[in-house]
Structure 1
Amino acid sequence: MGDEGRGTGACDRGVRVRELRALWGSRSRETVWDRTEDWWTPAVDAVCAAFATGADPADASGRLGAARARAGIGIGRSLADLAAFTEAVEWGDPPLRLVRAMAEGWAEGARAANTCQDALTGLATPAYLRTRLGELYPIGDDGPPTVDHRLIVVTLDPTLDPWRRAARLIVLGYELRRFFDRGESVCLLSRSRIAVIAQEAEDLDGRLSELRGGPGWEHGAGVWAVPLPPALREAMTLIDGLGRADG
């Protein structure tokens, strides 16, 4: 086959993968998924590509299970999402080999999640963000943070194509880790939002303006900040709401 034939074949596979992704995503949102923006992961396309080429998707199912665990998605919802895929491609119930591969991948990903680092972006995970917040409040949740901090939220457009949004998130995460170089915690909130816990300082407002006009503008990201709430429970409720807001 010539170069043109190979190019056409790759193009056809790409189209098929996108079609499967859309069909699966739609089915999953109808049955199990309640947060649109965090459904896609590169492992989703790996499963679709395996099916589109006639390969056994077991390995890709394992990768998907690991990705779900690292994102804090439970095994039950992960398996229900796999069932949405097999229904979308008219396989009915997931074959046992795919269930086993996903479960093993999920277990491995859950162990890796203890590192508190998101594998795709390199940012700290939402679980670490909660841990860090807990460190800022008195034991017993009976008072405001021991030192004044602000929660900075950097938001990408959740309607972007998943590939484009993931690419921007990776680059933006890298730039934010370089920008916030004074011990701030830079954490993932969702697949379209990054949170930063920054201590109050005289130049913080100026730095936020610099962020809006620099990396924020370059990546089409919104940047805003709020003081941390007066109690830990309220802070946890705030970040939970921010993480779900794009769903």
Structure 2
Amino acid sequence: MGETEVGSGARDRMLHRARELRAPWRRRSREVGWGRFEDWWTPSVDALCTAHVAGDDLSGPCARLGEARARAGFGIGPSLEDLDAFARAVGWEQVPLPLARSLAEGWERGGRSRGDCQDPLTGLANSEYLRTRVGELYRGVEDGVPAAFGHHLVVVALDPALDPWRRTARLIVLGHELRRFFTRGESVCLVNRARIAVIATEDPDANGSLTRLRDEVCWEHGAAVWSAPLPSSHREASALLDSLDGGGDRADV
């Protein structure tokens, strides 16, 4: 038997093993909510299986999988859950952090072309939307009291000294949990990769709400929480947003 035939046979066996790996991965993905096969499968699925069977570096295939998920409109949460399903299919206890990072970075690249006001990594409204929304609250100030006077900013801040990937991973989880906490039409927006600002209406129980937010959501992630009233003018509000983006002073709750 010639070398070409031997090489061809080895490739066929490797592709067969990759297809065999795809089946248990698919079963576990369905367990975490992935539906039709045609929604779940992409060429990057097979590329990841093949790379694992061949013993190759999985960072590139994970990044391509993340890009494919983002282009198809799937969120970062389901994408990471699918990668966890792959990890369980190959017998790992959890996804290695470098592979989760590769998938997230690929997902962010794949989401940049969507052209909306959403940050592709966290799913939160982006900083441009935050500034636009704050500006809207100062419209018509000449005609009376601006709507901004009935609103305040709730700021959630992670420690900027954290490793950038760990901080981003916490930010992703926080974004999901904050959208579940704020359910009355508040705008939950990303300021930067360490801070989130929520435009909320004045609440008679503001201190109680902030305490619940700190205890039920933020404490676990080591995030600080405070409230800042919107100032009397749009110019001052823009300066406030600048200070939040740059670090700024704060008062802990």
- Please state which band the TM-score falls in when normalised by the shorter chain: 0.5 to 0.7
Counterpart of 1:172 in structure 2 is 174
| Offset, 1:199 | 0.1
Counterpart of 1:14 in structure 2 is none
Counterpart of 1:221 in structure 2 is 223
What residue identity is the alignment partner of 1:235? A
Tell me how far apart the structure 2 counterparts of residues 192 and 244 of structure 1 sit (CA, whole Å): 10
Count of aligned pairs: 148
What residue identity is the alignment partner of 1:128? Y
| Offset, 1:201 | 1.7
Q: Using structure 1 for the length normalisation, give the TM-score.
A: 0.53
| Offset, 1:141 | 7.3
Tell me how far apart the structure 2 counterparts of residues 224 and 183 of structure 1 sit (CA, whole Å): 19
Write the deviation string for residues 50-93 of structure 1: whole angstroms up to 9, x where unpaired: xxx8xx9xx99xx8xxxxxxxxxxxxxxxxxxxxxxxxxxxxxx
- Asked if the contact 1:116/1:128 (under 8 Å) is kept, the reply is yes
- Asked if the contact 2:140/2:146 (under 8 Å) is kept, the reply is no
Larger Rg computed on CA atoms: 2
- Asked if the contact 1:155/1:221 (under 8 Å) is kept, the reply is yes
| Equivalent of residue 244 in structure 2, options 234, 238, 242 | 242
Counterpart of 2:135 in structure 1 is 134
Counterpart of 1:206 in structure 2 is 208
| Offset, 1:212 | 1.1
Work out which structure has the larger RCO, using CA pairs closer than 8 Å and 6 or more positions apart in sequence. Answer: 1
- Structure 1 unaligned segments of length 5 or more: list them: 1-52, 64-104
- Structure 2 unaligned segments of length 5 or more: list them: 1-56, 68-107, 249-253
Tell me how far apart the structure 1 counterparts of residues 212 and 142 of structure 2 sit (CA, whole Å): 34
Q: Quick one: structure 1 residues 141 and 188, their matched pair in 2 at CA, closer, same or farther if it must change by over 3 Å?
A: farther
What percentage of aligned pairs have identical amino acids?
A: 57
Counterpart of 2:91 in structure 1 is none
SS of aligned partner of 1:175 = helix
What residue identity is the alignment partner of 1:204? A
| Offset, 1:223 | 0.1
Write the deviation string for residues 91-128 of structure 1: whole angstroms up to 9, x where unpaired: xxxxxxxxxxxxxx99x93x53x410000000000000
What residue identity is the alignment partner of 2:135? G
Tell me how far apart the structure 1 counterparts of residues 132 and 120 of structure 2 sit (CA, whole Å): 18
SS of aligned partner of 2:160 = coil
Write the deviation string for residues 20-73 of structure 1: whole angstroms up to 9, x where unpaired: xxxxxxxxxxxxxxxxxxxxxxxxxxxxxxxxx8xx9xx99xx8xxxxxxxxxx
SS of aligned partner of 1:241 = helix
Counterpart of 2:185 in structure 1 is 183
| Offset, 1:166 | 0.8
Tell me how far apart the structure 1 counterparts of residues 146 and 217 of structure 2 sit (CA, whole Å): 29
Tell me how far apart the structure 2 counterparts of residues 220 and 161 of structure 1 sit (CA, whole Å): 13
